């Protein structure tokens, strides 16, 4: 994950549910990390995520959160 990557959540069915109040489903990697870090465990279980979604969460956690996102160690 590059620091200037744009994440398009339209390809991530379950994670996109966390953006239901946002008009755009695209955001920077940092913004995506911050959003997930604030909302992930409150609304989704790791059992709800696809393999691709888990990969994205892990990439964001490693790039921006020292391997941790919202207290999860996936």
For 40-63, what is each residue's pLDDT tens digit? 877 777 888 999 999 999 899 999
Look at the block and give the residue holding tokens 């069915």: 13
Task: Say how far apart CA 68 and CA 37 lie, in whole Å.
Answer: 9
pTM attached to this predicted model: 0.85
Residue 55's CB: how many other CB atoms inside 10 A? 13
The pLDDT of residue 38: 87
């Amino acid at each position: 994950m590059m620091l200037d990557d744009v994440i398009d959540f339209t390809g991530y069915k379950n994670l996109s549910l966390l953006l239901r109040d946002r008009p755009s489903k695209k955001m920077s990697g940092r913004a995506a990390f911050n959003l997930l870090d604030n909302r992930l465990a409150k609304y989704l279980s790791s059992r709800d995520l696809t393999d691709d979604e888990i990969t994205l969460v892990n990439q964001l956690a490693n790039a921006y959160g020292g391997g941790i996102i919202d207290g999860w160690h996936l």
